[in-house]
Amino acid sequence: MKEQDLLKKINELFRLAAQTFKESPDKANKYVTKARRIAMKKRLKIPSTLQKKFCKNCYSYLKPNINVRIRTRQGKLIYYCLKCKKYMRFPYKTFKRP
């Protein structure tokens, strides 16, 4: 398969994970694991918008205020997974006003 087709499949798996999370979080976690396996096998980078939707330690699908706590501190977004109790830090740029 081509790279674009695989990225579409990864996006589709994350969309399914978002839809099924409310009924069964375990199924949503399986969709995330499947998407990660596709990306690792074909050496694709998961888009940055999707990287923030799963835990880097336990690979569970993250939903704000349900199983992840999000804070900002010193130019970073800090995600705290409530399942495995690990932190993830993502930088963000702040714009200075003239």
- Find, among 45, 58, 48, the residue nearest to 85 by Cα: 58
Segments making up each domain of the chain, as ranges: 3-91
Q: Determine the residue type at 24.
A: S
pTM higher than 0.75, yes or no? yes
**What's the pLDDT score for residue 54?**
95
Per-residue confidence in pLDDT tens, the chain, 98 aa: 789 999 999 999 999 999 999 999 999 999 999 999 999 999 999 998 899 999 999 999 999 999 999 999 988 999 999 999 999 999 887 766 66
- Taken in order 35, 38, 39, 44, the sign of the CA dihedral is negative
Helix H, strand E, coil C: the string for the chain is: CCHHHHHHHHHHHHHHHHHHCCCCHHHHHHHHHHHHHHHHHCCCCCCHHHHCCECCCCCCECCECCCEEEEEECCEEEEEECCCCCEEEEECCCCCCC
The Cα–Cα gap between 38 and 40 comes to: 6
